[in-house]
């Protein structure tokens, strides 16, 4: 399977590497990895057999998760680059998702890698929008849009 | 933990009970269960410890999955009722998600049950919209909107 070589998640600080979607320290999670592909971003993931909607097809929650973490990862890639850093140098900014939208266009087959391809748009220095297309074997199965914001320093203190 | 007694997913036909989100036959999945609460719908789920965003908070993909399956389940409840059936009698219609939108309003704490509360709106006999609010200990953490359509009989034949 094609693999992302320089993934932004590999450089997230340890405290921010526990996400079930994309945290490299979360042993149970998906380990989504997001890197540049030209001027776009890419995340590649093959869903597991249990990630079923009806047998043979991927359930929507997995696709939403992929688009979500691809969105925060792509935003981090873009701002890190804007700040003058290559992937693998420096500490990238960590984003959180403000909103997520997914249009499910076709049933998404299991047993093949999915590719999320993102186009990143800056809408504010701390707020980015990522337009994503999810392909299975070059067939467009879903489109998504994530608005991601730089994680506020108060994020974890917003206790109930 | 409060429990949904009469869940629509308990009546899904066996072929449609494998969803990672809400299929009772998927041993690895979340087993979301959706029922009526007055004129609204409810799904209750306590995320697992590994469903982390940053330690202590639930990752967005789980919340998106909850809103997604709550949306298809709520649509099934509503159409089944419109067709004159109580939950637990007859075979409910199975919906698929056309679109999913989530606004993440606050960090969602781990270690407490989440309640998704839905309001169902018919926009076409085979197309329903579900407005959902996700609460953690009575604090509104996320809002969602799902457009769900009755699963076409050709769904599984849309091979690539």
Per residue in A97-112, pLDDT tens? Answer: 999 999 999 999 999 9
Q: Which two tokens stand for residue A15?
A: 């405290």
* Residue B148, domain member (yes or no): yes
Residue B86 located in a structural domain = yes
Q: What is the pLDDT of residue B153?
A: 75
Q: Which of A21, A137, A160 sits opposite B160 (nearest CB)?
A: A137
Q: Can you spell out the DSSP letters for A94-143?
A: -EEEEEEEEEE-SPPBSSS-EEEEEEEEEEETTEEEEEEEEEETTEEEEE
Best of B16, B28, B32, B59 to mutate (most A CBs within 10 Å, chain A) = B59
Among B149, B148, B156, B153, smallest CA distance to B70 is for B148
Please check whether residue A58 lies inside any domain of the structure: yes
Residue A43 lies in a domain: yes
- A118-124 contacts, C-beta under 8 A, 24 or more apart: A118/A34, A118/A40, A118/A41, A118/A42, A118/A43, A118/A70, A118/A71, A118/A74, A119/A40, A119/A41, A120/A41, A120/A74, A120/A75, A120/A77, A120/A78, A122/A78, A122/A82, A123/A147
* Residues in chain A closer than 8 A to B96 (CB atoms): 53, 60, 104
**pLDDT at position B43:** 98
Do A11 and A4 meet the contact criterion of CB atoms below 8 Å apart? no
Identify the pLDDT of residue B160: 41
Measured between alpha carbons, how far is A79 from B114 in angstroms, rounded to an integer? 33
CB contact under 8 A, B139 and A159: no
- At A159 the pLDDT is 46
Confidence of residue B156 (pLDDT cuts 50, 70, 90): low
pLDDT at B159 over 50: no
**Cβ contact B100–A104 (<8 Å):** yes
- Average pLDDT of span B147-156: 85
Q: From A16, which residue of chain B is nearest by alpha-carbon distance?
A: B54
Residue-level pLDDT at B80: 98
Partner-chain residue, chosen from A55, A104, A137, that has the shortest CB–CB distance to B97: A104
With respect to residue A90, please indicate whether it lies within any of the assigned structural domains.
yes
- Which of A43, A59, A83 shows the shortest CA–CA distance to B96? A59
Asked if residue B34 has pLDDT above 70, the reply is yes
Give the count of Cβ contacts less than 8 A between chain A and B: 145
Alpha-carbon B147 to chain mean position: 12
Mutation test of the interface with chain B: which of A68, A100, A105, A158, choosing the one with the most B Cβ atoms within 10 A?
Answer: A100
Report the CATH number that the domain containing residue A101 is assigned in CATH: 3.10.129.10
Tell me the C-alpha distance between A85 and A136, whole Å. 31
Tell whether A3 is covered by a domain. no
Q: What is the pLDDT of residue A156?
A: 67
3-state SS assignment for residue B113 = coil
Contacts of A102 (CB under 8 A, 6+ apart): A60, A63, A64, A67, A142, A143, A144, B64, B99, B100, B101
Q: What is the pTM of this model?
A: 0.96
What pLDDT is recorded for position B157? 67
Q: Which residue on chain A is closest to B148 by alpha carbon? A: A104
Q: How many domains does chain A have?
A: 1
Residue B109 DSSP label: B
Segments forming the whole domain that contains residue B144:
8-157
User: What is the ipTM for the molecules in this complex?
Assistant: 0.95
pLDDT for the residue numbered A1: 81
Give me chain B's average pLDDT, please.
Answer: 95
Interface test with A, best of B26, B54, B62, B130 (most A CBs within 10 A): B54
Q: Is the pLDDT of residue B84 over 80?
A: yes
Residues of chain A scoring pLDDT < 50: 159-160
> Does the distance separating the beta carbons of A68 and B64 come in below 8 Å?
yes
B154 interaction partners in chain A (CB closer than 8 Å): none
Considering only the beta carbons, identify the residue of B65, B69, B160 that sits closest to A136: B160
């Amino acid at each position: 399977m094609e693999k992302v070589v320089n993934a932004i998640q590999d450089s997230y600080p340890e405290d921010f590497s526990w996400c079930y979607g994309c945290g490299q320290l979360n042993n149970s999670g998906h380990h989504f990895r997001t890197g540049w592909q030209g001027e776009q971003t890419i995340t590649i993931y093959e869903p597991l057999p249990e990630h079923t909607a009806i047998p043979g097809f991927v359930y929507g929650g997995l696709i939403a998760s992929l688009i979500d973490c691809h969105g925060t990862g792509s935003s981090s890639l873009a701002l890190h680059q804007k700040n003058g850093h290559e992937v693998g140098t420096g500490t990238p900014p960590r984003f959180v998702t403000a909103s997520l939208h997914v249009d499910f266009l076709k049933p998404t087959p299991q047993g093949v890698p999915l590719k999320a391809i993102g186009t990143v748009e800056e809408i504010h220095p701390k707020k980015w929008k990522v337009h994503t297309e999810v392909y299975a074997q070059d067939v467009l199965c879903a489109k998504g849009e994530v608005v991601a914001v730089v994680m506020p320093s108060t994020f974890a203190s917003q206790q109930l």
